[in-house]
Amino acid sequence: MLNKQKKMLSDTFYRALVLGAVVSGSGALQAVAQTALNLPPAQPWSDRSEGLIAKPGDEWITPAEAANFETPPRYAEVRT
């Protein structure tokens, strides 16, 4: 019986330790996820598909097209 209690206590402690590590690390992960990526410069590109880009004032223009593809849209702009 004593060994079973020790195992339960050990399992509970381990779970609490893992949960604490996850919770305390989530802030650090969030900060890393929100930093700008160090990407290589964009390569020049031209193709027939450029004709599919909506013109300014088009009622179906996307946030990316409206920003001339310089900034990505925010989640709230595209989730609906």
Model confidence pLDDT, tens digit, residues 5-23: 666 657 776 677 667 666 6
49 lies in a domain?
A: no
What pLDDT was estimated at residue 80? 65
Write out the DSSP string of 19-33. Answer: HHHHHHHHHHHHHHH
- Tokens representing 8 are 């339960």
Mean pLDDT, residues 34-41: 76
Q: How many domains does the chain have?
A: 1
CA 61 to CA 42: how far, in whole Å? 23
pTM: 0.40
Domain of residue 24: give its range: 2-35+54-78
9 lies in a domain?
A: yes
pLDDT bracket for residue 33 (50, 70, 90): low
Counting residues of the chain whose pLDDT is more than 70, the rounded percentage is 57
- Tokens representing 11 are 């399992």
41 lies in a domain?
A: no
44 lies in a domain?
A: no
What pLDDT was estimated at residue 76? 84
